[in-house]
Amino acid sequence: MIHSWLKRVQDTRQRNKGSDIGAWPARLQTAWALFRQVLPEDKPDREVADFGCGRQQLKTLLPAGWSYVPYDWTPRSPDTRVCDLAVAAPTGAHEIIFMLGVLEYMPDPARLLSHALNQARWTVFSCFCGWSPLRAWKQGWRGRLSRRAVERVLKGANVQVRAYQDWRGDGGLWVCENLDHQTGGQGT
């Protein structure tokens, strides 16, 4: 029994961040819909960075003419920019950064969130704010941000929350705008 439970934990971790990475279409679709409520026009030349891109499902939602810059810790495709977000965030500015299902895996999630909020005009992110040590261990989560901690990071970055939705009872999806941001092209 213990062996089968540990096997399920291993399978969960592989699905979350290993070679057998999964996809979470409901979270992605909900985050995209929130973002499009705030920014509905399809102006060409928008640039979207996808921190923790996984299978790059976000790319399939982008309107024609929008560029896509995928970042992940392992090269899941030839265009993936390999970057260990737990160690160093990508440099350079992006117009839009999506970060879905990433913060929980960071040892210092506030650092990465703050970086994204300051490097983009728009930041769309998810965060599970509830905490269960057993769940965290099973999922392979390394860091935690409470709702209060998320609010402190948002306030410190001086951004405006343009949309928010509760997610699965103990998490949330945010769309934030940094009105002071000047897009400087694709990051590295």
CATH number at residue 126: 3.40.50.150
- The pLDDT score that the predictor gives to residue 36 is 96
- The pLDDT score that the predictor gives to residue 40 is 84
- The pLDDT score that the predictor gives to residue 20 is 45
For residue 31, the enclosing domain spans: 23-177
Q: Is residue 182 part of a domain?
A: no
Q: Is residue 15 part of a domain?
A: no
- Scanning 39-85, the segments in alpha helix (DSSP H) are none
- The pLDDT score that the predictor gives to residue 65 is 92
- The pLDDT score that the predictor gives to residue 18 is 53
Q: Is residue 145 part of a domain?
A: yes
Q: Is residue 12 part of a domain?
A: no
Q: Is residue 90 part of a domain?
A: yes
- The pLDDT score that the predictor gives to residue 141 is 66
How far apart CA 161 and CA 158 sit, in angstroms, is 10
Q: Is residue 186 part of a domain?
A: no
Do 80 and 71 meet the contact criterion of CB atoms below 8 Å apart? yes
Domains of the chain: total: 1
How far apart CA 131 and CA 145 sit, in angstroms, is 9
Backbone angles phi, psi at 18, to 5 degrees: -95, -160
- Helix, strand or coil, per DSSP, at residue 112: helix
**Type of residue numbered 11:** D
Q: Is residue 167 part of a domain?
A: yes
Averaged over successive runs of 10 residues, the pLDDT of the chain (188 residues) comes to 52 49 77 94 89 92 94 88 90 91 91 95 90 68 85 95 90 94 55
- Angstrom distances, CA of residue 21 to CA of 13, 55, 185: 9, 7, 29
Q: Is residue 94 part of a domain?
A: yes
